[in-house]
Amino acid sequence: MTRSFSSLEAKQAWLRERQAASLPVESPQTGEAPIWAQRHYSVAEVARMWNLSTDAVRRLFEREPGVLMIGDVEGRAGKRRYVTLRIPESVLERVHRKLSRVSAG
């Protein structure tokens, strides 16, 4: 089936609709929204919610799987790294559960 489009914008809109229809709304295993569709928190937002410093939150989440690291992750020799973290809600919940465990002993 061949489609003809009057403009590039019309074709882009059609492709977006087609792609959105094929994406899962929920994860089949857990029933929760896929990680890309979840609310993503900034380091400052998590710091305010948990009453921690932004440095402490950054240390907690910088190596967590699933956290978006936007910017110069590698850094350059002699230069400061500029990295923005965005923390998905499911990662936030996972870390909270991990930190909330009561030690058995």
Domain boundaries, the chain: 32-100
Give the pairing of strands 68-71 and 40-42.
Answer: unpaired
Mean pLDDT per 10-residue run, the chain (105 residues)? 74 73 54 86 97 96 93 76 92 94 58
Q: What is the pLDDT of residue 1?
A: 55
- pTM beyond 0.85: the answer is no
Listing DSSP states for the chain in one string gives: -----SSHHHHHHHHHHHHHHHS-SS-TTTSSPPGGGS-EEEHHHHHHHHT--HHHHHHHHTT-TT-EEEE-SS--TTS---EEEEEEHHHHHHHHHHHHPPP--
